[in-house]
Amino acid sequence: MRVFLKSVSELNSNYHPLENANKLDDVTYENRLYMHYGDYSIETRGIEKFLLVIKAISKIIFSFGFAYRSPDVQENLQGRRIDIVYINVEGGSRSLKIKESYFPKIDEDLYAFRKAIFNETLIACENGYINSKMNVVMIDNDPMLKGTETYNQLETLAPINTPYQTKFSVIAEDTFKVMLKRVAEGLYPVGINMANLYHPGGGADSGCPAQEEALCRSSNHILGLKTQSYPIPVQGGIYCPHVKVIRKGIDEGFAFFDKPLEVALVAVAAFDLRENSSDRQSLALPLQGKLDIIDLVLHNRFMRETTAKIANMLREMAIKGHQHIVLGALGCGAFQNPPTLIARIFGELFNGEFKGRFAGVDFAILNIFPNDHKNIEAFTNECEELNKNSKTQNLFI
């Protein structure tokens, strides 16, 4: 068994933690010192402060072999500012991880930081991790991989026999945080992945900060996406059931959950309405200049295909039996879809084919960037009207 920390394998092509763990040299990487003692290496920050502690831990591990199970060692590991420890067992065939939350340094490259988080998540999803209680957690990816499917145009749903009095809400939190609140209530929610049309996971492997990438940094979702053909159908999407959420978000240091939590996701790609985008070209929209709502409303193809895209997503969610769904301001960020118009399309669908179809509908919309308040305002106004209509409907049942 060898103990080493995250990013050691990224030092350079000539240095590998397993191949070089017996060397008694120290290596600096991204201003962090990796100290090697026999078969073990530990990374830390503030090396002068923790040097004696780390040496003591290393000697304990070296002496007892399986000392990672020792309460004394656990206390030392969990009580010190040691970011992450990998434990490699069975001749390198399995990598496990001790949970420890951590945050980027002030001067750290955030893209590199998020990329490292994503790579760690992939390792944990494929090989497991050790949680805060020192229990080995293995991820069963098979249910998601077997159940993931691509859908396209779906038939209009028949009216529901016993409609719900649907509760609509806007919550200024990320998608997984909202979904996991519903999981805590005993629900199995399905959420939207506002996905990249052409590439599974979008820019997760390069550290991009968007919503799809955030989902992939905290779960095994990307493994399901990679089983499907791309691009995603214009009016369709990819349904991923049994997605295992194993990590918290950036605001909680990407800490690992003691056990995975299960949700479902539907990947849908919004139209990109930025200047000179391929979507503007394919939709026969002007390539230059800002598009206002009137232009888009009068443009029949944009309205027709956006409505179909959202309707088919809701049909898929309903067909799969989900009673609580978590949506978002689809395309209203970098892709510049007008939030008032997109919210209205959702509203018309929930007042029509999907009236009473779901027990609860949450819109998870973060309030981080300057224009985010416009998204929250537009969807809040729409949800208020939908809630009024839902109560009125209940009076006549």
Distances (CA, A) of 85 to 95, 98, 364: 10, 5, 33
- Confidence bin at 375 (pLDDT 50/70/90): very high
d(CA 137, CA 74) in angstroms, rounded, equals 17
Say yes or no to pLDDT of 351 above 60.
yes
- As a whole number, the mean pLDDT across the chain is 80
Give the pLDDT of residue 100: 62
Main-chain phi, psi angles of 388, to 5 degrees = -60, -45
For residues 11-39, give the mean pLDDT.
32
Give the pLDDT of residue 295: 87
How do residues 307-322 score in pLDDT, each as one tens digit?
A: 999 999 999 999 999 9
Percent of the chain at pLDDT > 70 equals 73
Main-chain phi, psi angles of 259, to 5 degrees = -145, 150
For residues 43-69, give the mean pLDDT.
41
Sheet with 136-137, strands from edge to edge, namely 2-5, 85-89, 94-98, 129-130, 136-137
Give the pLDDT of residue 134: 83
How do residues 232-281 score in pLDDT, each as one tens digit?
A: 999 999 999 999 999 999 889 999 999 999 999 999 999 999 999 999 99
For residues 44-55, give the mean pLDDT.
44
User: Exposed e or buried b for every residue in 135-173, given b needs 16+ CB within 10 A?
Assistant: eebebebeebeeebeebeebeeeeeeeebbebbbbbbbb
d(CA 127, CA 47) in angstroms, rounded, equals 30
Say yes or no to pLDDT of 66 above 50.
no
Sheet with 27-29, strands from edge to edge, namely 27-29, 32-37, 40-44
- Confidence bin at 78 (pLDDT 50/70/90): very low
Higher pLDDT, 219 or 5: 219
- Confidence bin at 349 (pLDDT 50/70/90): very high
Give the pLDDT of residue 20: 34
Tokens representing 184?
A: 């805590």
Domains of the chain listed by start with CATH number: 2-137 (no CATH), 143-395 (3.40.220.10)
Give the pLDDT of residue 65: 39
Q: If we measure between CA atoms, which residue out of 89, 141, 100, 131 comes closest to residue 6?
A: 100
Whether residue 231 has a cis bond before it, omega within 30° of 0: yes
Higher pLDDT, 32 or 301: 301
Q: Does this model's pTM top 0.75? A: yes
Give the pLDDT of residue 14: 31
How do residues 98-148 score in pLDDT, each as one tens digit?
A: 546 678 888 899 999 999 999 999 999 998 988 888 888 999 999 999 999
Say yes or no to pLDDT of 2 above 50.
no
Say yes or no to pLDDT of 79 above 80.
no
Sign of CA dihedral 268, 274, 278, 282: positive
Give the pLDDT of residue 40: 34
CB 239 within 8 A of CB 149: yes
How do residues 178-204 score in pLDDT, each as one tens digit?
A: 999 999 999 999 999 999 999 999 999
CB 337 within 8 A of CB 371: no
Give the pLDDT of residue 97: 53
